[in-house]
Amino acid sequence: MRKYLYSLLLLTCTVALTAQNFVSVSGKATQLPSPSGGVDYVFIFADLSDAEIKTTANANWYIYNENDSTLVQSGVDYLYPEDNTGYIVSDGTNRVLFWVIDYSKYRLTLRNLNVDYNYNSRCEFTQLLLDADIPQMSYKTLDGRVRKIDRECIITFNSLAWGGEQWQDSLCTEEHTLQNTMVVGAPLQNTTFTVSADQFAEALGFTKDSLQTDIYQAIAVAAHPTTLTTVRGTESENQRTNELERPIETTQLEGSAPLDILFRANANIPITQYYQWRIYRGTELIVQRTDDEHRYTFDNYGEYRVVLVVSNDYCESDSMEINVSVALSQLLVPNVFTPNGDGQNDEFRVSYRSIIEFECWVYNRWGKLVYHWTDPAKGWDGNINGRPAAEGAYYYVIRARGADAEAGAKYHKATKKNPMSVGVYQLSGDINLIRGSNK
């Protein structure tokens, strides 16, 4: 008999595809997905009062136990099964091994559901304490190994989800193996938890048993920091085209100084109570702030890290970082401009990047000051007191300081022996005014 059973086990594994339609059930039943250990089916019936297993032909029916089997019916196409029992059915061509469970004998008893307020990791997770009787359902393989069947439950609660611009209410649904203690993600707002079980109840026509906690006071904190950069013109604005890498989008976090940026924490209030912003230039801490939002102007060259941590009396978030990069300064001066109204090169302007101090003086050939300005984004339009200036050469003097200039660096005329300090500009030269034709 044992030799027969071992060969039967091997055959059972090989005929699974041909045996898919060999057996059928009547009565209210469902199947366990993908049973293991050579078992083709685990049938779970609502009860066995009207349960019947049928085949497509007359067959022999066996009850299997560890390394043994007992013939219970011969030459018939039906079987009235018993609870917690494994069977083999064979018609000489097809052989199927299956297990039967009477679900009515394993019903849950759910009594109470609470939150464990002593759980050590409440800032990240919430532990639920379930007072319940959870009868174990299982099946056996042909060699007697027991396979436990997980009874699953659905846990639902309300939290918050970041929608890109603001927090939105979110219904969280988590699937868990039903146990007396279960851990879910920590909610970001006050909520109740509901446990509904198990996965077989609804399929078998039973109402899912469920329990709900009292309102839980959330303590977990979270934030989604955002930035809003002050824009200095767009590509289409000619009066700004002489600044290189200037911020033209509110999302820009790198480019020409000064970068003026508004930082918002966007935390889950009122759960979050405290804010800590830290701004580092390299490894040097240069600023600390404690408001939910703040504005900072980056007017020195370098790589910055803006770090945010939010907290309350119980929890503290992981640090969140925003990187800001301020470009090296640059200042280029043309030697000609053509104020003829054609929209091209109509003003004497410098090309610059990360210039935070600027002055330019323009003199005529007799040394008389004809124009002076302090905004590098602007320039001289070629007029003197509202009238067109004469064509020819004019003399300019520029003093400027970049975001990369060292504090206290002096202006002086650069020489080979005494070059200009980094980020400090003292320039002079000729600028030629040519009107020409606007055609």
pLDDT at 41: 95
Residues 6+ apart with CB under 8 A from 148: 136, 137, 138
Is residue 83 located within the same domain as residue 33?
yes
User: Is residue 280 in some structural domain?
Assistant: yes
Lowest mean pLDDT segment, chosen from 42-51, 375-384, 403-412: 403-412
The single-letter DSSP state of residue 314 is S
Q: Report the pLDDT value the prediction gives residue 326, as an integer from 0 to 100.
A: 97
pLDDT in tens, 146-199: 999 999 999 999 999 999 999 999 999 999 999 999 999 999 999 999 999 999
pLDDT of residue 4: 32
Query: pLDDT > 90: what percent of the chain?
Result: 82
- Residue 53's domain is classified under what CATH number? 2.60.40
Here the CATH number for the domain that contains residue 298 is 2.60.40.10
Whether 103 contacts 69, CB under 8 Å: no
Residues 278, 233: one domain?
yes
Q: Is residue 438 part of a domain?
A: no
Residue 185 pLDDT: 96
Question: Does 17 have pLDDT greater than 80?
Answer: no
Cα separations (Å) of 185 from 122, 157, 175, 176?
A: 9, 10, 12, 12
- 115 - beta bridge partners? 128
Higher pLDDT residue, 10 or 384?
384
Q: Report yes or no on 439 lying in a domain.
A: no
For residue 247, is pLDDT > 80? yes
Percent of the chain with pLDDT over 70: 93
pTM comes to 0.80
Query: Would you place residue 237 in the very low, low, confident or very high pLDDT band (cuts 50, 70, 90)?
Result: low
The residue among 209 and 237 whose pLDDT is bigger is 209
Q: With CA atoms as reference, report the closest residue to 253 among 303, 325, 308, 301.
A: 325
| The pLDDT of residue 439 | 52
Which residues constitute the domain of residue 116? 107-138+148-212
The verdict on 7 and 95 lying in the same domain is yes
Assess if residue 221 is contained within a domain: no
| pLDDT single digits (tens) 258-316 | 999 999 999 999 999 999 999 999 999 999 999 999 999 999 999 999 999 999 999 99
The predicted structure's pLDDT at residue 236: 59
Q: How far, rounded to the nearest angstrom, does the alpha carbon of residue 29 sit from its chain's CA centroid?
A: 41
Find the range with the poorest average confidence among 10-14, 98-102, 211-215. Answer: 10-14
The pLDDT of residue 122 is 97
Domain count, the chain: 4
Whether residue 243 sits in one domain with residue 179: no
Q: How far apart are CA 327 and CA 301, in angstroms?
A: 6
